[in-house]
Amino acid sequence: MVNLKLVEGNTEIKVVNSTKPKFSCRGGRTWDYRETIINNKVTRMHFDSTWGHNFYFEVNDKWYSIPVIDNYEKMNKQHHFELVR
């Protein structure tokens, strides 16, 4: 397993390989997103705003996730992350 992280300055966020979420609305679930910049591209960070615990995002046709807790405010266009090993 390759350890990946989003890096901006001194900020490092551990990234986990994931699958694409189903985006279902079952059980009252609602989905939202925030946009941030990863590898110089605007990227949508999807999250289940009802029950979810992770942001899900796609880079180069691969899906990844990071915890929402402690990262919510960092996920916006003011931050420019690089996905690195």
Counting Cβ atoms within 10 Å, is residue 73 exposed (0-12), middle (13-18) or buried (19+)? exposed
Between CA 52 and CA 31 the distance in angstroms is 9
Q: Enter the pTM of the model.
A: 0.84
Give the start-to-end residue ranges of the domains of the chain. Answer: 4-84
**pLDDT tens string 24-74:** 888 888 999 989 899 999 999 999 888 888 889 999 999 999 888 777 777
Report the b/e string of 44-53 with b at 16+ CB within 10 A: ebbbbeeebe
